Structure 1
Amino acid sequence: MKFGFNLLLWTSHVREEHWPILDKLKAAGYDGVEVPMFEGEPSHYARLGNRLRDAGLGATGIGVMPGGGRSAVSADPAERAGALGHIKWLVDCTAALGGDLAAGPFHQPLGEFTGAGPTADEKARCAEVHKPAAHYAATAGIALSVEPLNRFECYFLNTALAAKALVDAVGEPNYGFLYDTFHFNIEEKNQARAIHATAGAFNHFHISENDRGVPGTGPIDFASVFKALKATGYDGWMTVESFGSALPDLAAATRVWRPLFDKPEDVYLGAIKLMKEGWAAA
């Protein structure tokens, strides 16, 4: 098991001013970080990758499908081509970083709705985009992990079984889905059952509390999550995702309108204790 921390707690674009955070996370016991990739060129992430290696940290990348002519589910071939190009950019940035996995909801743009659930045609179109994306990622030694979101953030991919069906449709060994305890706290009636039902289809795991604050301080039953996850034989990244209210754009996107913790240390120190003790006890 590798324990990671998503740097979105501090920023949506990691710069040199954020580098001291890396040493703090390493000292806390983390094995790596998840780097937000919403802008920039591979050369920027290559410099960051050098700093991560100096700190003794591994990495994953995470991004979104930004819209603006890019959507993997669109009926417009040009928008699907734009979506494939965007995923390739995400892969290039992750490879430059030295990461081993690129994750995120790179299926549809966030916050776009049709008034209905996903159609069979949309599911087929998404798989047709993600299959060559997985081929491209494989040439760089990168795994792809598509993220389902709750129904208030997207309509195309909401549940663990829907995500497994997409993984099966793509059918590539380096393609799986990202299991996130925040989203599935909303969408799944029992997270342990969802984990068992989709074992082998998820290849990345996010630990996040129901309010996006400090994991372990809310109602999510992490003990049952860890027990179920361990029983599946999962041995990839377990990465903390928590958001604050200090970044207005990110706060707006994640609907964080109030402080969820006193200071960042509360999150990363509390989370590493929860994960390591919980995993050992599972």
Structure 2
Amino acid sequence: MKIGFNLLLWTAHVERRHWPILEDLKRCGYDGVEIPIFEGTPEHYAELGRELDRLGLDRTVIALFPGTEMNPIGAEPSQQEGARRHLAWILDCSAALGAKIVGGPLHSTLGHFSGDAPTAAERERGIAFHRDAGDMARDRGITLVLEAINRFECYFVNTMQDLAGYLAEVDHPNVAGMYDTFHANIEEKDPLAAVAAIAPHLAHVHVSENDRGTPGKGHIDFDSTFKALKAVDYDGWITIEAFGRSLPLLAAATRVWRDFFPSTTEVYGDGFKLIHDGWHSA
């Protein structure tokens, strides 16, 4: 098991001015960081990758489809082509960074709703897209990890059962699934049983408290979660995802209207201890 931290707590675009944060995370004991790829060039991420190498930090990527003009399940061919171009850019930047895992709600446009439940035609378009996407990821030595997110952010894939069924139909070795404690807390009738549901496809885990604040300061049962992950022989990344109010646009996008923690140091310090100690005692 490797412990990671998502840089979205501070920024949607990691630059040189954020490098001291990387050093702090390394000193804290983290194995790696999760880098948002929302803008930039492969050259930018190659430079960042060299800094991570210098620090001895591994890395994963978080990404998304921000607009309907690049919707993998959209009815218009131009939407699917836009999604392919956007994903190719994400994967090129990720390869330059040296990341092997690219995760996020990469099944549909984040925050877009049709006003109805997902249709058979949308599912068919999505499966065809992700089979192609799997080939794109494989060519770059990357695994694409789809994240089921809650009904207030997405209507296409909300539960681990939804995601497991979808991934079984995609049936590509480079397209896998993610378990996120925040979304499971909202959508799953039994969040621990949901771990078993996604187990055949599980390649990444997000630890996020019920209020998106410091892990262990809310009501998510992390002890039982770690036991459930061990029960299915999970041994990959456990990455903390928390959100604050330092960036107004990001705070608005993540619906963060109040402070959930006294300092970012608490989030990554207490969060690391929660995972490190909790995993070993599970």
Shorter-chain TM range is over 0.9
Q: In structure 2, the residue corresponding to 1:227 is in which secondary structure?
A: helix
1:86 aligns with 2:86: yes
Q: Show the counterpart of 1:134.
A: 134
Provide Cα deviations, 1:127-150, integer angstroms capped at 9, x if missing partner.
111111111111111000011110
Residue 111 in 1 paired to residue 111 in 2?
yes
1:43 aligns with 2:43: yes
Deviation for aligned residue 1:81 = 1.1
Q: Which runs of 5+ in 1 are unaligned?
A: none
- 1:54-69 correspondence runs (5 A): 54-69=54-69
Code of the aligned partner of 2:29: G
Offset of residue 173 of structure 1: 1.1
| d(CA) in 2 for partners of 1:204, 1:172 | 16
Partner of 2:228: 228
Matches within 5 A, 1:133-212: 133-212=133-212
SS of match in other structure, 1:61: strand
Q: Deviations over 1:24-79 (max 9, x none)?
A: 10111100000001111111100000000000000011111111510011111110
Question: How many aligned residue pairs are there?
Answer: 282
Distance 1:194 1:108 in 2: 22
Partner amino acid for 1:123? R
Paired letter, 2:199: A
Provide Cα deviations, 1:196-248, integer angstroms capped at 9, x if missing partner. 12212121100000000000111111111000001111111110000001110
Paired residue type of 1:247: L
TM-score by length of 2: 0.98
Contact 2:63 / 2:90 at 8 angstroms: preserved in 1? yes
1:264–1:197 distance in 2 versus 1, CA, 3 Å: same
Name the counterpart of 1:3.
Answer: 3
Give every structure 1 segment of 4 or more consecutive aligned residues whose post-TM-superposition deviation is greater than 4 Å: none
Match of 1:275 in 2: 275
In structure 1, C-alpha distance between the alignment counterparts of 2:105 and 2:154, rounded to whole Å: 9
Residue deviations 1:180-199, cap 9 Å, x none? Answer: 10011000011110001221
**SS of the residue aligned with 2:52?**
helix
Q: Which runs of 5+ in 2 are unaligned?
A: none
CA distance in 2, matches of 1:281, 1:192: 17
Asked if the contact 1:84/1:130 (under 8 Å) is kept, the reply is: no
Q: Residues 81-137 of structure 1: CA distance to partner in whole angstroms, max 9, x if unpaired?
A: 111221111111111001111111122222211221111111111111111111111
1:24 aligned onto 2:16? no
User: Identity over the aligned pairs, expressed in percent?
Assistant: 52
Partners of 1:68 and 1:197 lie apart in 2 by: 30
> Match of 2:258?
258
Secondary structure of 2:203's counterpart equals strand
3-state SS, counterpart of residue 85 of structure 1: helix
1 CA distance for matches of 2:198 and 2:140? 26
CA distance in 1, matches of 2:280, 2:83: 40
2:279 is paired with a residue whose SS is helix
Q: Which residue of 2 aligns with 1:70?
A: 70
